Amino acid sequence: MGAPKATLDWHGSTLVRRAVGIVGRVVDGPLIVVRAAGQDLPALPDGIEVVQDARDARGPVQGIAAGLDAIGDRADAAFVCGVDAPLLHPALIAAVIAALASDEELDVALPVAHGFSHPLAAAYRTTVGPHVRDVLERNMLGTRALLDRCRVLRLDAAALGADPHVAEHDPQLDSLLNLNEPAEYEAARARPAPLVTVVGAGDVRAATLLAAGEGTATINGQPVSDPGEPLVAGDVLAFAMQRRYRPAS
């Protein structure tokens, strides 16, 4: 990509700031950001825990290992995603987590869409830790080696789209589009910002709270003060003191 993905601009914010904000809406446990050793990160909200890979250049499984180690026994399951999926929607996260919770025998709920499996948009039982360590010790760094050791529920487009919130807010499963090349990044940035509703102003295109307006606000009834808070399609915002907004286009 030519630069660390976490630091890339996303409508005035960064990819990592957007990722933690979106995931944080859905999960009720710790939020962990895994970085390479010595990697600089942009500013993150209070409460975000930052850990680093034990060894560099070992792929996503090493990152999953670091994240699960940091979580420990504080959660039964973890949603794992990369920072390079800025179109991720909370509705899809919730649907994947619910699928894992539907069967105690499952280890992983894995989206399969757009012709690919998406192990970095999946929910994992924290009990898969021994499998993660085993594949790393064997120097098997691909996620397939990990998944082969797990009881996996594969969620195709039909299964994901059966969730009414996914069907309403992410019918094309754009949540699963990740950015691996500069052209993909630029194409994603060229898309219109999410369409949200500002009470008293109507529909607005905005990717962050600051882009929608100024002042104390709630998003879907929840108070928010960070102007960098990410917005997604379907959000409803109310400003106590609204000074400006951007009309939909």
The pLDDT tens digits for 184-228 are 999 999 999 999 999 999 999 999 999 999 888 999 999 998 999
Q: Which residue has the higher pLDDT, 177 or 241?
A: 177
Q: What is the pLDDT of residue 58?
A: 74
Interior angle at CA 245, CA 228 and CA 241, nearest 5: 80
Percent with pLDDT over 70 in the chain: 96
Q: How far, in Å, CA of 6 to CA of 9, rounded?
A: 9
Predicted confidence band at 2 (pLDDT cuts at 50, 70, 90)?
A: confident
Q: Dump pLDDT digits (tens) for 15-28.
A: 999 999 999 999 99
Q: What is the pLDDT of residue 172?
A: 97
| Residue 175 DSSP class | G
Q: Which residue has the higher pLDDT, 245 or 81?
A: 81
Residue 55 scores a pLDDT above 70: yes
Number of other residues whose CB lies within 10 A of the CB of residue 102: 10
Predicted confidence band at 246 (pLDDT cuts at 50, 70, 90)?
A: low
Q: Which residue has the higher pLDDT, 243 or 49?
A: 49
Enter the tokens of residue 85. 């999926």
Residue 57 scores a pLDDT above 80: no
Please name the fold of domain 192-239: Ubiquitin-like (UB roll) (3.10.20)
Q: What is the CATH superfamily name and number for domain 5-183? A: Spore Coat Polysaccharide Biosynthesis Protein SpsA; Chain A (3.90.550.10)
Q: Dump pLDDT digits (tens) for 139-189.
A: 888 899 999 999 999 999 999 999 999 999 999 999 999 999 999 999 999
Is the Cα torsion angle 35, 37, 38, 39 positive or negative in sign? Answer: negative
Q: How far, in Å, CA of 223 to CA of 238, rounded?
A: 9
Q: Dump pLDDT digits (tens) for 31-44.
A: 999 998 888 999 89
Number of other residues whose CB lies within 10 A of the CB of residue 203: 12
Q: What is the pLDDT of residue 248?
A: 58
Are the C-beta atoms of 187 and 196 separated by less than 8 Å? no
Q: What is the pTM of this model?
A: 0.93
| Residue 148 DSSP class | T
Predicted confidence band at 247 (pLDDT cuts at 50, 70, 90)?
A: low
Q: Dump pLDDT digits (tens) for 102-136.
A: 999 999 999 999 999 999 999 999 999 999 999 99
Q: Which segments of the chain are extended strands (E)?
A: 9-10, 13-14, 32-35, 49-52, 77-81, 108-113, 116-117, 121-125, 152-155, 195-198, 202-205, 217-219, 222-224, 236-239
Cα 240 to the chain's mean position, in Å? 29
First-to-final CA distance of the chain: 30
Are the C-beta atoms of 228 and 208 separated by less than 8 Å? yes
Give the pLDDT mean for 81-106: 97
**Separation in Å, CA 66 to CA 49, 61, 80, 133, 151:** 12, 9, 12, 10, 21
Q: What is the pLDDT of residue 214?
A: 87
Q: How far, in Å, CA of 118 to CA of 106, rounded?
A: 17
Residue 77 scores a pLDDT above 90: yes
Per domain, the residue ranges of the chain are 5-183, 192-239
